[in-house]
Amino acid sequence: MQRLNDVHQLQASAGLLGWDQQVLMPAANAHARGAQLAVLSRLAHEILTSDETARLFEDAERELNDADYDSKEASMIRVAKKDYDKAVRLPSEFVAELARQTAVSHEVWAQARANNDFRAFQPTLERMVELKQQQAGYLGYSQHPYDALLGQYERDMTAAQVKAIFDEHKPPLVSLIAAVKERSDRVSDAVLHQPYDIDRQRQFALDVVAGYGFDFTRGRQDVAVHPFCSGFSRSDVRITTRFYEDFLNPSLFGMMHEAGHGMYEQGVSTEIDGTLLGSGTSLSVHESQSRMWENIVGRSRGFWNWAFPQLKALFPEQLANSDVERFYRAVNIVKPSFIRVEADEATYNLHIMLRFELEMDMVAGKVKVADLPEEWNDRFEAYLGIEPPSDALGVLQDVHWSSGLMGYFPTYALGNLLAAQYYRKAIEERPNIPDDIASGRFDTLLTWLNEKIHVHGRKFTTDELTRRITGEGIQSRYYMEYLEKKYGEIYGL
Amino acid sequence: MQRLNDVHQLQASAGLLGWDQQVLMPAANAHARGAQLAVLSRLAHEILTSDETARLFEDAERELNDADYDSKEASMIRVAKKDYDKAVRLPSEFVAELARQTAVSHEVWAQARANNDFRAFQPTLERMVELKQQQAGYLGYSQHPYDALLGQYERDMTAAQVKAIFDEHKPPLVSLIAAVKERSDRVSDAVLHQPYDIDRQRQFALDVVAGYGFDFTRGRQDVAVHPFCSGFSRSDVRITTRFYEDFLNPSLFGMMHEAGHGMYEQGVSTEIDGTLLGSGTSLSVHESQSRMWENIVGRSRGFWNWAFPQLKALFPEQLANSDVERFYRAVNIVKPSFIRVEADEATYNLHIMLRFELEMDMVAGKVKVADLPEEWNDRFEAYLGIEPPSDALGVLQDVHWSSGLMGYFPTYALGNLLAAQYYRKAIEERPNIPDDIASGRFDTLLTWLNEKIHVHGRKFTTDELTRRITGEGIQSRYYMEYLEKKYGEIYGL
């Protein structure tokens, strides 16, 4: 336990150094910060993968043979052993080479995107795909090399499982978007694109997420170019936000989103706080929390019945010609667009499926990096009905591949599905939730999420947790039902 | 070198966690942060004191036998070996007990001070003195146990050396203060105690220290209750400030002071940046830099000839009835007072001598903790001519003893002496410095400090460095000459 504590505290400290780098640190210090982070990471890796740790794992597994699966001790060893198994399989020269290549690759990608020049990025990306194939080989898999990469973010989940979910999800989603497109004139979001004073944006968004239940005595909010949430313990959870002077969404829905992540971290049981179990269980479950508070709650009619008068009091001029209904429609506009991070709830998952398919094929060697722009654009048009006018707005848009994050994208879409699946169960068990939201009471929902999800931290896998809560694995149909009902009504389908 | 790098980067990371705790962290997270810091400190200690490190030291010392004393390699091993020798002598159970006692002691002291109840603190302080005596025993000393404690902050300096300096310094200082006291009606500082808008205070102070040469592209300024400076590399140096709505000094002179520390850290040679040599050499030399920029520069007539018109432009109402001369006198008022941190340049060192003498006697067992308040008050009256009306304003005022920081106080007074000694040499070598300051040019002085002091980092001891620069060890007479000249003129002595 002490060794695992050392690993965890080194990682938590590295987390804070990373937060500081994005939020406060003088840019000139990047090199020195890199040296600090390298030492923390290496020591954490050395302690986790040492022979002594291996021996202690063996002892612990023997001792805990009859321990309750849910207990802190059994969960700790079970989860840590999986971290260990992954870490120990990667040779340290490979880890160093991957880190080096990632640093280089990121710079090359940023330049290539700025110049809209995919060919400048191509050799670097080819090398990264090779490294990812090697990594999959080291980590091991039974069916597809992508399983190994996905497994870094979703313990025990396979590419085949994700593919089955997406294969069921895609056809109705494509149909829905096509149907909405026919009636796009029914909704305008012009009201959101006006000058909005940033101090007031901040105040409103802070009030909303404090109302949601984000605890500012155990967290903070700061400004960052790329918003994110970091937790270093349940009493130190930090969200970041970016503000636009003439667009309300990034601060408002961005703050809701990050607060959703944050409330998960703040809700971990005190019993496992400060241990490697004291965080969200997986990226997809984490994303289910952020998307639920951003979209299912924050873009609901009930929420805006309560919130719109307050927003209007802050921005009387901007909202003079709007009302709850028009504002509700504005924040729920569906509009196929090129950039994933700006996508609405309906089109978002198609952006992900496209990436998932291309990642699978690249790792399997079925799609060559050289052919990627064409593959991207063809599929984009097939799914979303529009073709990217440039690679900068297409295949070059995301940071992930240059950072070696392959296998990561699916978790975003799974998060959307899980948000709907969990929320459906929540209102089944607490039917008052929608009415409570409409009167600005969010604790009914938060308490349920706390009890069912947050307290467990990393104890269970996504599948274990989802089956415990809903009685079945991840489903796409609840999200489709949610989308069809909402947009059916807004767009009169 | 890699092992020493690990130690250094762990310490730098711990430094950032400490900075964050004082500046940003939610207060509720103190316990979790303590756990993170404990792991970083323990790992740094384990790596430094391991048998493998000892073996590598032996090899390195053999290899570097003929290396230039000033070289990076020789200095690194020489300085690190002293850190090692100290660290290895303290049994880890003792370190843990001291840490535990310090945490408890701090709480007890804070309560006792709030309640003006020395007897509540007495048993805790008695235990702390015992621990400090033990620590001195572990660390070893040739003459006085205080040598070992002082040596933690000033490599190779002895209590006898400090005592000799203070014994020479005290009589003329006591005389000067008595003489000033007779003429206290000649100076008023009322102009400083008025409402000053905090945003404008911040802007003025930031402009001043940016003008001094504090590089904000390699540093930051934030707000903290107890101001301090932390450096984690030469490109990440952070100062903190506290602001009062109705008193100009804390922000203005506080910012100058911390920037003085900060410019030292920013001026370390790139060759030794990011290593354990990449920081100030000792507390007294560090303090010489902060006190020089705060007092010798920031409280000089030349500086205010340049700065006063700018300050007046920002605060025309507050300064309507003042002029440069009256303002210069106001910021140089001498007024014996009870609280060290509020003391002026003349009385400050007497506050320190009092503490130094009591610490020496406590550690030697000559003064009992039970008799401390009486001893304090008697000496205070003898040196400063006033008697503290309460222990809260007397023996209980400082945090240091409760935090186990015995042997630390003298470095403050030595910093004052060194500031005058170095400055005298600077103007001997660069006679233009005073005129440059009076026209707002500070780079002549800063460049000299950079070349003579900053670049060397921790390579040399205080004595080595001071002899290299000035040809002699620490002297009190240059500081006395500086005080007598300045106050002789202001008070017409």
Cβ neighbours of A273 in B, within 8 Å? 32
CA distance A254 to chain B (A): 22
Kindly give the residue spans of alpha helices, DSSP state H, lying in A24-91: 30-48, 51-63, 72-89
- In chain A, count H helices and then E strands: 20, 3
CA distances from B204 to B276, B281, B308, B309 (A): 34, 30, 11, 12
Q: What is the pLDDT of residue B99?
A: 86
pLDDT(A187) > 90: yes
**Nearest residue in A to B36, CA atom:** A9
Q: Between A and B, how many residue pairs show a Cβ–Cβ distance under 8 A?
A: 106
Q: For residue A433, which phi and psi values (nearest 5 degrees)?
A: -55, -50
Length of chain A: 493
Cβ neighbours of B35 in A, within 8 Å? 5, 9, 274
User: What stretch(es) of chain A map to CATH 1.10.1370.30?
Assistant: 119-493
CATH class of A119-493: mainly alpha
pLDDT(A100) > 90: no
CA distance B317 to chain A (A): 30
Q: What is the pLDDT of residue A66?
A: 86
Q: For residue A273, which phi and psi values (nearest 5 degrees)?
A: -60, 140
Q: What is the pLDDT of residue A106?
A: 87
Q: Give, to the nearest 10 degrees, the angle between helix A30-48 and helix A92-114.
A: 150
Q: How is residue A161 written in tokens?
A: 């499982």
The alpha carbons of chain A give a radius of gyration, in whole angstroms, of 23
Q: What is the pLDDT of residue A69?
A: 96
Task: Indicate the pLDDT class of residue A217, thresholds 50, 70 and 90.
Answer: very high
Under 8 Å between Cβ of B232 and B218: no
Strand partners for A241: A223
**Number of neighbouring beta carbons within 10 Å of residue B395:** 25
Cβ neighbours of A5 in B, within 8 Å? 35, 39
Encode pLDDT of A300-319 as tens digits. 999 999 999 999 999 999 99
Residues of A with CB under 8 A from a CB of B: 5-6, 9-10, 12-14, 16-17, 20, 24-29, 31-33, 35-36, 38-40, 43, 216-220, 232-236, 273-274
CA atoms of B230 and A29, how far apart (whole Å): 14
Q: What is the pLDDT of residue B71?
A: 95
Among partner residues B13, B26, B273, which is closest to A36 by beta-carbon distance? Answer: B13
Among partner residues B17, B25, B39, which is closest to A6 by beta-carbon distance? Answer: B39
Residues of B with CB under 8 A from a CB of A: 5-6, 9-10, 12-14, 16-17, 20, 24-29, 31-33, 35-36, 38-40, 43, 216-220, 232-236, 273-274
pTM summary value: 0.93
Q: What is the pLDDT of residue A104?
A: 85
Cβ B236–A27 below 8 Å, yes or no? Answer: no
Name the CATH code of domain B144-493 (choices 1.10.3760.10, 1.10.10.10, 1.10.1370.30, 1.10.645.10): 1.10.1370.30
Q: What is the pLDDT of residue A472?
A: 98
A93 vs A278, residue with greater confidence: A278
The residues near B491 (Cβ < 8 Å, ≥ 6 apart) are B179, B180, B183, B186, B187, B334
Cβ neighbours of A25 in B, within 8 Å? 236
Under 8 Å between Cβ of A164 and A410: no
Q: What is the pLDDT of residue A302?
A: 98
User: What stretch(es) of chain B map to CATH 1.10.1370.30?
Assistant: 144-493
Under 8 Å between Cβ of B211 and B263: no
Under 8 Å between Cβ of B96 and B46: no
Average pLDDT over residues A162-188: 96
CA atoms of B440 and B446, how far apart (whole Å): 12
**Nearest residue in B to A34, CA atom:** B9
Q: What is the pLDDT of residue B107?
A: 87
Among partner residues B5, B6, B25, which is closest to A236 by beta-carbon distance? Answer: B25
Cβ neighbours of B216 in A, within 8 Å? 26
Under 8 Å between Cβ of A230 and A18: yes
Strand partners for B222: B240
Burial A411-422 (b: 16+ CB within 10 A, else e): bbbbbbbbbbbb
Q: What is the pLDDT of residue A65?
A: 82
**Number of neighbouring beta carbons within 10 Å of residue A443:** 12
Cβ neighbours of A36 in B, within 8 Å? 9, 12-13, 16, 232
CA distance A257 to chain B (A): 21
CA distance A235 to chain B (A): 5
Residue-averaged pLDDT of chain A: 96
Look up tokens 């920002």; give the residue: B314
CA distance A450 to chain B (A): 20
Kindly give the residue spans of alpha helices, DSSP state H, lying in A340-461: 348-363, 372-384, 410-429, 433-438, 443-452
CA atoms of B160 and A491, how far apart (whole Å): 88
pLDDT(A260) > 90: yes
Under 8 Å between Cβ of A443 and A213: yes
Q: What is the pLDDT of residue A12?
A: 97
How is B417-464 classified by DSSP, letter by letter? HHHHHHHHHHHHH-TTHHHHHHTT--HHHHHHHHHHTGGGTTSS-HHH
Q: Give A182-186 contacts, CB < 8 A, sequence gap 24+.
A: A183/A491, A183/A492, A183/A493, A184/A334, A184/A335, A186/A329, A186/A490, A186/A491, A186/A492
Q: What is the pLDDT of residue A226?
A: 87
CA distance B43 to chain A (A): 8
The residues near A209 (Cβ < 8 Å, ≥ 6 apart) are A221, A239, A255, A256, A259
Encode pLDDT of A8-31 as tens digits. 999 999 999 999 998 999 989 988
CA atoms of B394 and B378, how far apart (whole Å): 11
Q: Which DSSP state fits A257?
A: H
Strand partners for B220: B238
Task: Indicate the pLDDT class of residue A221, thresholds 50, 70 and 90.
Answer: very high
CA distance from start to end of chain A: 57
Cβ B32–A217 below 8 Å, yes or no? Answer: no
Average pLDDT over residues A413-441: 98
HSE (side-chain half, CA atoms, 13 Å) at B85:
15
**Nearest residue in B to A216, CA atom:** B26
Among partner residues A33, A218, A273, which is closest to B26 by beta-carbon distance? Answer: A218
Under 8 Å between Cβ of B259 and B211: no
Task: Indicate the pLDDT class of residue A70, thresholds 50, 70 and 90.
Answer: very high
Task: Indicate the pLDDT class of residue A103, thresholds 50, 70 and 90.
Answer: confident
**Nearest residue in B to A234, CA atom:** B29
Strand partners for B219: B237
CA atoms of A337 and A348, how far apart (whole Å): 10
CA distances from A391 to A118, A397, A486, B212 (A): 7, 8, 33, 48
Under 8 Å between Cβ of B288 and B418: yes
CA atoms of A16 and A8, how far apart (whole Å): 12
Amino acid symbol at B150: L
**Nearest residue in A to B13, CA atom:** A36
Torsion of Cα atoms, B425 then B427 then B431 then B437, to 10°? 160
CA distances from B366 to A461, B184, B361, B369, B376 (A): 65, 37, 5, 10, 14
Strand partners for A239: A221, A229
A258 tagged catalytic: yes
Cβ neighbours of B13 in A, within 8 Å? 13-14, 17, 36, 39-40
Q: What are the pLDDT tens digits along chain B (493 aa)?
A: 999 999 999 999 999 999 999 899 998 998 899 999 999 999 999 999 999 999 999 999 999 888 999 999 999 999 999 999 999 999 988 988 998 888 888 889 999 999 999 999 999 999 999 999 999 999 999 999 999 999 999 999 999 999 999 999 999 999 999 999 999 999 999 999 999 999 999 999 999 999 999 999 999 999 998 899 999 999 999 999 999 999 999 999 999 999 999 999 999 999 999 999 999 999 999 999 999 999 999 999 999 999 999 999 999 999 999 999 999 999 999 999 999 998 999 999 999 999 999 999 999 999 999 999 999 999 999 999 999 999 999 999 999 999 999 999 999 999 999 999 999 999 999 999 999 999 999 999 999 999 999 999 999 999 999 999 999 999 999 999 999 999 999 999 9
ipTM of the complex: 0.92
CA atoms of B3 and B53, how far apart (whole Å): 7
Amino acid symbol at B134: Q
**Nearest residue in A to B3, CA atom:** A39
